[in-house]
Chain A
């Protein structure tokens, strides 16, 4: 075995010095969340690394909707899911069509449109929240879940278009030409050649938009107010309205709310790896 040189050891040490704090920084809040969720109410603030009497009682309360704040838990979870999935699908549809038109059909002015859309990111989404509220009011969509869906698609679309456009540019243009000569119409090209080859990027972007909507609080809070319409993230916020917030339940719901994104990420991780285009053209 090769002896490690002093330089490689120092480099390694430096990386560890940065890495370990970052890891702890990330994991401690998650652990805290977990700790709260298995602690009884009275010992939640005991400050121990492991509770004296770990319990699943909190989960029982949450799943059974046995608390005032949790009376619509399942419905709100379903709202979150429905909105997130719809936002993911709609964003994918909009962004894929746009990227195909700009990158493959080379529609005139397409690049300008894309840059204009990206330009909207110069304005923080929080500043746009009030105008968006007003706009949705004008459309009569307030307190309608479509308001949140449309707002989230608006926020997710520019970045999605940009990423998909970059990915499209990497597909060899000769594939399009070959398909055109083989007799494909633009729609057939889109469906039979473009979509299958873009699959990894589509999954990545779909996941991005879905998670963005799942995690959204501000817009959901502004645009929805009815207890039966709101998402779980807004419901979580409502926990803090009272003086004696049930922290252990808040943390339990938070933990449950954090699980689907983690699951989705791990399920689709393999799609985020490229390599599908190998063999299309010369290496």
Chain B
């Protein structure tokens, strides 16, 4: 169990700088998810923590001790790789026992730890098998077992679920989460899948182009994204964003978008005439009444519990999600009711949130 802190981390490959000064803390026992699109530097950051990449500048500390110059094997961390990286010539049991054998641990202790990990992961029947004889999910569990037997200070996961099919991914997601709740080991988990991030994390670090965009609890990021990138990255279906200009008149405020569509602004964010990006999540829109934004339905996608509608409002295409099953058809003219309290406004140039 340990805390991890990144301080002013930079990383260059040759002349290409891929990480531009990142600092944050991971608390003891926390499940921290690094999320971002491909190439944002999240895996590189994890590999630097693992000791598999050199740190170009800055320091990484585990439990307050700087580990920049400590070999990976001496950092007391264990990693689960995307490709599992199981030793193909060893049985499941030997795979899990390998690190302890290298450390010359007592044979009895080793056997005990392997048995214990196998029990936690339901791998008991497979200990004598080879990795090639296992399914994807089982291999994934062996990779986790290999990490567990070491009882490390920190677990690292590098996109561990991306090789699994959708159904198994959901199941393994719950397993990893349950495992963390049971072992309470500090965990750093890298993924590009924001749903994984939202469902598993205690806190999320959203990364983009080698920089941290925002750090916070999942719902905090969802409810109050600091900038346009986070707003659009977190949430599925993604937040609707319309470019427009703030207008204030007669005590009212709205954002005027291309085609003359007026989107209501509830709060006082943004000065009259300011160019902004107006964001509203699909579930904060509804089929609505008198002062609604006029729109036309393009596609109706019922999923059972809810219905997703793609509509055209002025020049913008907007997605809205309603519970239940509205009786509408493509081509219908409707009104979009916006809950003004749930609207996000960002500066069009910088993408920064304009505080309400």
Q: Are A and B co-members of a single complex?
A: yes
A180 and B99 alpha carbons, distance in the complex (Å): 9
- Those of B50-67 within 8 Å (CB) of chain A: 50-52
Shortest distance between the CB of A72 and any CB in chain B (Å): 44
Given contacts A279-B133, A279-B134, A281-B84, contact A180 B102 (CB under 8 A): no
Given contacts A174-B85, A276-B89, A279-B139, contact A181 B130 (CB under 8 A): no
Contacts of A175 in B (CB 8 A): 85, 87
Contacts of B102 in A (CB 8 A): 182-184, 188
Contact indicator B81/A178 (Cβ below 8 Å) = yes
Shortest distance between the CB of B103 and any CB in chain A (Å): 6
Q: Does B203 contact A (CB under 8 A)?
A: no
Q: Does B78 contact A (CB under 8 A)?
A: yes
Contact indicator B85/A178 (Cβ below 8 Å) = yes
Contact indicator A197/B73 (Cβ below 8 Å) = no
Contact indicator B78/A181 (Cβ below 8 Å) = yes
Contact indicator A180/B163 (Cβ below 8 Å) = no
Shortest distance between the CB of B205 and any CB in chain A (Å): 22
Contacts of B51 in A (CB 8 A): 180-181
Q: Does B279 contact A (CB under 8 A)?
A: no
Q: Does A280 contact B (CB under 8 A)?
A: yes
Q: Does B131 contact A (CB under 8 A)?
A: yes
Contacts of A197 in B (CB 8 A): 88-89
A172 and B83 alpha carbons, distance in the complex (Å): 9
Q: Does B79 contact A (CB under 8 A)?
A: yes
Chain B positions 148 through 184: 1 when the CB is less than 8 Å from some CB of chain A, otherwise 0 = 0010000000000001000000000000000000000
A68 and B133 alpha carbons, distance in the complex (Å): 61
Q: Does B86 contact A (CB under 8 A)?
A: yes
Q: Does B42 contact A (CB under 8 A)?
A: no
Contacts of A280 in B (CB 8 A): 83-88, 131
Q: Does B5 contact A (CB under 8 A)?
A: no
Contacts of A174 in B (CB 8 A): 81-83, 85
A196 and B81 alpha carbons, distance in the complex (Å): 21
A181 and B182 alpha carbons, distance in the complex (Å): 23
A193 and B132 alpha carbons, distance in the complex (Å): 16
Shortest distance between the CB of B149 and any CB in chain A (Å): 10
Contacts of A179 in B (CB 8 A): 87, 98
Shortest distance between the CB of A274 and any CB in chain B (Å): 11
Contacts of B99 in A (CB 8 A): 181-183
Contacts of B130 in A (CB 8 A): 279
Contact indicator A279/B86 (Cβ below 8 Å) = yes
A196 and B84 alpha carbons, distance in the complex (Å): 19
A172 and B87 alpha carbons, distance in the complex (Å): 10
A276 and B52 alpha carbons, distance in the complex (Å): 26
Shortest distance between the CB of A108 and any CB in chain B (Å): 14
Q: Does A14 contact B (CB under 8 A)?
A: no
Contacts of B103 in A (CB 8 A): 183
A85 and B81 alpha carbons, distance in the complex (Å): 41
Chain B residue at smallest Cβ distance from A184? B102
Contact indicator B72/A279 (Cβ below 8 Å) = no
Contacts of B234 in A (CB 8 A): none
Q: Does A241 contact B (CB under 8 A)?
A: no
Contacts of B163 in A (CB 8 A): 282
A57 and B79 alpha carbons, distance in the complex (Å): 70
Contact indicator A181/B84 (Cβ below 8 Å) = no
Contact indicator A281/B83 (Cβ below 8 Å) = yes
Contact indicator A184/B73 (Cβ below 8 Å) = yes
A278 and B130 alpha carbons, distance in the complex (Å): 10
Contacts of B77 in A (CB 8 A): 181
Chain B positions 202 through 223: 1 when the CB is less than 8 Å from some CB of chain A, otherwise 0 = 0000000000000000000000
Q: Does A169 contact B (CB under 8 A)?
A: no
Given contacts A181-B50, A181-B79, A279-B139, contact A196 B73 (CB under 8 A): no
Q: Does B344 contact A (CB under 8 A)?
A: no
Contact indicator B85/A279 (Cβ below 8 Å) = no
Chain A residue at smallest Cβ distance from B80? A178
* B interface, CB within 8 angstroms of A: 50-52, 72-73, 77-79, 81-89, 98-99, 102-103, 130-134, 136, 139, 146, 150, 163
Q: List 28 A-B contacts (CB under 8 A).
A: A174-B83, A175-B85, A175-B87, A177-B85, A178-B86, A179-B98, A180-B52, A180-B72, A181-B51, A181-B77, A182-B98, A182-B102, A182-B150, A183-B73, A183-B102, A184-B102, A197-B88, A197-B89, A276-B88, A278-B132, A279-B86, A279-B130, A279-B139, A280-B83, A280-B84, A281-B85, A282-B83, A282-B136
